[in-house]
Amino acid sequence: MERSSEDRRELFEQKPIPEALMKLAVPTVIGQLVVLIYNLADTFYIGRADNPWMVGAASLILPFYNIAIALAGIAGVGGGTLITRLLGSGDEKAAKRVSAFSIAISLFFAAFFALTTALFMTPLLYALGASPETFSYARQYAFFVIVLGGVPTVLSLTLSNLFRSVGFAREAGIGVSMGGILNILLDPVFMFCFFPKGMETMAVGAATMTSNVVVCIYYLILLYRRRDETVLLLPGKEKLPDKEHIKDIFSVGIPAAAATLLFDLDFIVIDRLMAGFGDIPLAAVGIVLKAERLPLNVGIGLCQGMVPLASYNYASGNYKRMKESVHFSRLAGLVIAAGSVILYEIFAPSVIRFFIREAGTVRLGASFLRIRCLATPFMFLCFHMVHFFQAVGEGKDAMILAVIRWAVFNIPMLFLFRWLFGMYGIVWTQLTADIFTVMVTYYVYDRFQKRMKI
């Protein structure tokens, strides 16, 4: 489907906010749900072996994957939000330079990350809390997902963000959905046809890598076919962006990456602290951390749909429309979060049993999930405001909120609550920390509105 600059202006400037937001957010939400499903599919298929150590090993690699997301965020979020603001101000030439530069730094960061992981995998896995029982499984999974699949994973995530930033939300969503569906299909094929019993983690890792390679190829083909319709370009003959624009990319991209890395560090701390209570609690919390992502991924999809709309109208000076997009997306996200809390409270044992049938893990996981899900509305509000500050180029505020949420409240509280209340103190931390974070977040937001007089 052709999309001219007139179509883009109509979407960003004229369509009613609910319609424009849904047009941008629905493909992204669908893509986020498919991503969640294929992440859960790995745990589901590994869980069919009824081996808690395999499940625990897969959970240990989640922080590695989040680092890849963080690297993609530097280029994809930092570059993407700047591109949208440049389009809002009418500077397409600068937007082209920013897109080429963003893709170039994405490739560099991805290659560096994959090589570093390959060279230092053993100490990294032990630092994450791998035990003698989980180490070999975690190594198998990481080799395919990070070492071999790191570059296509980071590049595809970056391109997805960049396409969404210029209004190609449907195409970006197709790519994300394609990768998820392909991974779901390949998991059982690789497990039961290509790899022997006992190597289930290696099989699903290979399936994930393969799906990410295919998605990366899809985006590159799309970039070539749409080269005359969009400002997105591969690195080549384009000059470097202005120094001020490079600074803008990193001023937003680095806080976005830092938020992901601190989120990642939180997972590492949870794994390390929970591992002290045994492999069964570690497997249970690993399943919960994935299961709770359903409403959060929907919320993130809404936020990602809101970002280009808010960013474009902020740059063009239409603050009223910008605020309407923020308010509507926040209301929709809170409704979804509240519904998810009710469903998790009712069906927690069934959710855990979907992944593994081992009775001890099911019992513990259901108890953890019923506690952790209470934080969902507050977690969404935190994500929502961070996305807003990224949209308007306020990287400093985004960084402050990320540091406050994870380094000031969440991570220190994990150690404190573990000391005070033991295993369940770890689980209650998220709700407590995010209540405090939301209070700070809206104080910062109120100050921003007064400063900008909007």
Q: Is 357 helix (H, G, I), strand (E, B) or coil?
A: coil
**In this structure, is residue 281 part of a structural domain?**
yes
Query: Is the pLDDT at 134 greater than 80, yes or no?
Result: no
Q: Between vectors from CA 102 to CA 99 and to CA 104, what angle results, nearest 5°?
A: 110
Q: Which two tokens stand for residue 397?
A: 């505020």
**In this structure, is residue 47 part of a structural domain?**
yes
- CA distances 112 to 61, 98, 115, Å, are 18, 21, 5
CA atoms of 401 and 132, how far apart (whole Å): 37
**What is the number of domains present in the chain?**
1
**In this structure, is residue 5 part of a structural domain?**
no
- For residue range 269-312, what is the model confidence (pLDDT) as tens digits? 888 888 788 878 888 888 888 788 888 888 888 888 888 888 88
User: What band does 333 get if pLDDT is binned at 50, 70 and 90?
Assistant: very high
Q: What is the pLDDT of residue 91?
A: 84
**In this structure, is residue 253 part of a structural domain?**
yes
Nearest by Cα to 185 from 213, 221, 210: 210
More confident residue, 204 or 97: 97
CA atoms of 26 and 204, how far apart (whole Å): 28
CA atoms of 170 and 334, how far apart (whole Å): 24
Instruction: Write out the residue range of the structural domain in which residue 396 sits.
Output: 12-452
**In this structure, is residue 254 part of a structural domain?**
yes
Q: Which two tokens stand for residue 165?
A: 């930033």
User: What band does 334 get if pLDDT is binned at 50, 70 and 90?
Assistant: very high
Fill in the DSSP letter of residue 229.
T
Q: Which two tokens stand for residue 323?
A: 């605020």
User: What is the 3-state secondary structure of 418-442?
Assistant: HHHHCHHHHHHHHHHHHHHHHHHHH
**In this structure, is residue 7 part of a structural domain?**
no
Query: Is the pLDDT at 39 greater than 70, yes or no?
Result: no
**In this structure, is residue 4 part of a structural domain?**
no
**In this structure, is residue 6 part of a structural domain?**
no
Q: pTM of the predicted model, to two decimals?
A: 0.76
